[in-house]
Structure 1
Amino acid sequence: MSVKDRANGGPMDQVSAIAAGRAASLVHAGDVSSEALSARLGRWTQGDGTLAARLSRGIEGLIASGELRSGDRLPAERALAAAGSVSRGTVVAAYADLAERGLVDRRQGSGTRIAGTAATAVPAQRPGRGEALFSALPNAIDLLRTVPQISDLGVQLIRDHKPRLDLALLPETDPAGLPALRALIADMYTAEGTPTTPEQILVTHGAQQAISLVVNALVGPGDIVLAEEITWPGVTDSVGLRGGTVHGVPMGDDGLDVDALEQALARLRPVLVALNPHHQNPTGSRLPAPARHRVAELAAQYGVPVIEDRVLAGISFDGVVPPTLAAERADAPVIVVESVSKWVWAGLRIGWLRADPVLVRRLRGARQLADQSTSVPGQLLALDLIARADDLRRANSRIHQERLRLLQTLLAEHLPDWTVEPPRGGLSLWVRLPAGSAAALARTAATHGVSVAGSAAFAVSASPDDHIRIPFTAPDDVLTEGVRRLGAAWREYRETLGVSS
Structure 2
Amino acid sequence: MTVTENVTAPAAPLPPLAARTRSIGGSPVRDILAVTARPEVINFAGGLPAPVLFDAEGIAAAYRAVLTEEPARALQYSTTEGEPALRAALAARTTARGLDTDPDDLLVTTGSQQALSLLATALIEPGDTVLVEDPCYLAALQAFGFAGARVVAVPGDEHGIDPVALEELVVRERPKLLYTVPTFSNPTGRTLPADRRAAVAEIAGRRGVWIVEDDPYGELRFEGERVPWIASYDGARDRTVLLGSFSKVMAPGLRLGWLRAPAELRRACAVAKQAADLHTPTVNQLAAARYLADRDLDAHVTRVAAAYGARRDAMLAGLADALPAGSAWTRPEGGMFVWARLPEGYDTTALLPEVVRHRVAYVPGAPFHAGEPDRATLRLCFVTQTPDEIAEGLRRLGEGLRAASERS
TM-score, reference length from structure 2: 0.85
Partner of residue 488, structure 1: 399
Q: Distance in 2 between matches of 1:472 and 1:446?
A: 17
Q: Distance in 2 between matches of 1:421 and 1:363?
A: 35
Aligned length: 374
For the residue of structure 2 that corresponds to 1:135, the secondary structure is helix
Alignment of 1:190-229 (within 5 A): 190-229=95-134
Deviations 1:119-150 (A, max 9, x none): xxxx9x94235243443325344321111125
Check conservation: 2:348, 2:375, Cα contact below 8 A.
yes
Partner of residue 78, structure 2: 173
Q: Distance in 2 between matches of 1:242 and 1:150?
A: 33
Check conservation: 1:432, 1:468, Cα contact below 8 A.
yes
2:300 is the counterpart of 1:392: yes
Q: Distance in 2 between matches of 1:386 and 1:248?
A: 38
Q: Distance in 1 between matches of 2:28 and 2:355?
A: 18
Partner of residue 10, structure 2: none
Deviates more, 1:349-358 or 1:327-336: 327-336
Deviates more, 1:360-369 or 1:487-496: 487-496
With over 3 angstroms needed to count, the CA separation of the structure-2 counterparts of 1:328 and 1:386, relative to structure 1, is: farther
Q: Distance in 1 between matches of 2:159 and 2:343?
A: 21
Q: Choose which of 435, 455, 476 in structure 1 pairs with 2:365.
A: 455
Deviates more, 1:446-455 or 1:395-404: 446-455
Check conservation: 2:29, 2:46, Cα contact below 8 A.
no
With over 3 angstroms needed to count, the CA separation of the structure-2 counterparts of 1:249 and 1:351, relative to structure 1, is: same
Partner of residue 312, structure 2: 404
1:130 alignment partner AA: S
Check conservation: 1:185, 1:386, Cα contact below 8 A.
no
Deviations 1:276-309 (A, max 9, x none): 1001111111111111111112222222111100
Q: Distance in 1 between matches of 2:351 and 2:391?
A: 19
Q: Choose which of 218, 231, 241 in structure 2 pairs with 1:313.
A: 218
Following superposition, the deviation at residue 431 of structure 1 comes to: 0.9
2:311 alignment partner AA: R
Partner of residue 423, structure 1: 332
Q: Distance in 1 between matches of 2:170 and 2:247?
A: 32
Using the aligned pairs only, state the percent identity: 33
Following superposition, the deviation at residue 342 of structure 1 comes to: 1.0
Which sections of structure 1, spanning at least 5 residues, go unmatched? Answer: 1-122
| C-alpha RMSD of matched pairs (Å) | 2.3
Following superposition, the deviation at residue 345 of structure 1 comes to: 1.6
Q: Choose which of 9, 22, 32 in structure 2 pairs with 1:135.
A: 32
Following superposition, the deviation at residue 198 of structure 1 comes to: 1.3
Q: Distance in 1 between matches of 2:246 and 2:379?
A: 22
Following superposition, the deviation at residue 407 of structure 1 comes to: 1.6
For the residue of structure 1 that corresponds to 2:252, the secondary structure is coil
Alignment of 1:98-247 (within 5 A): 126-136=23-33, 137-138=35-36, 139=38, 140-150=41-51, 154-161=55-62, 162-165=64-67, 168-170=71-73, 171-247=76-152
Partner of residue 15, structure 2: none
Alignment of 1:254-273 (within 5 A): 254-273=159-178
Q: Distance in 2 between matches of 1:196 and 1:167?
A: 28
With over 3 angstroms needed to count, the CA separation of the structure-2 counterparts of 1:394 and 1:221, relative to structure 1, is: same
2:118 alignment partner AA: L
Following superposition, the deviation at residue 157 of structure 1 comes to: 2.3
Deviates more, 1:357-366 or 1:155-164: 155-164
Q: Distance in 1 between matches of 2:23 and 2:208?
A: 28
Which sections of structure 2, spanning at least 5 residues, go unmatched? Answer: 1-19
Following superposition, the deviation at residue 414 of structure 1 comes to: 3.8
Q: Distance in 1 between matches of 2:256 and 2:206?
A: 33
With over 3 angstroms needed to count, the CA separation of the structure-2 counterparts of 1:480 and 1:381, relative to structure 1, is: farther
For the residue of structure 2 that corresponds to 1:164, the secondary structure is helix
Q: Distance in 2 between matches of 1:374 and 1:415?
A: 43
For the residue of structure 2 that corresponds to 1:175, the secondary structure is coil
Check conservation: 1:225, 1:239, Cα contact below 8 A.
yes
Deviations 1:308-330 (A, max 9, x none): 00001111121533222111126
Q: Distance in 1 between matches of 2:201 and 2:53?
A: 37
Q: Distance in 1 between matches of 2:324 and 2:156?
A: 27
Following superposition, the deviation at residue 432 of structure 1 comes to: 1.1
With over 3 angstroms needed to count, the CA separation of the structure-2 counterparts of 1:332 and 1:151, relative to structure 1, is: farther
Partner of residue 90, structure 1: none
Stretches of 4+ moved more than 6 A in 1?
Answer: none
Check conservation: 2:89, 2:289, Cα contact below 8 A.
yes
With over 3 angstroms needed to count, the CA separation of the structure-2 counterparts of 1:402 and 1:323, relative to structure 1, is: same
Q: Distance in 2 between matches of 1:481 and 1:346?
A: 26
Deviates more, 1:136-145 or 1:461-470: 136-145
Q: Choose which of 248, 260, 265 in structure 2 pairs with 1:342.
A: 248
With over 3 angstroms needed to count, the CA separation of the structure-2 counterparts of 1:414 and 1:302, relative to structure 1, is: closer
Partner of residue 8, structure 2: none
For the residue of structure 2 that corresponds to 1:404, the secondary structure is helix
For the residue of structure 1 that corresponds to 2:178, the secondary structure is strand
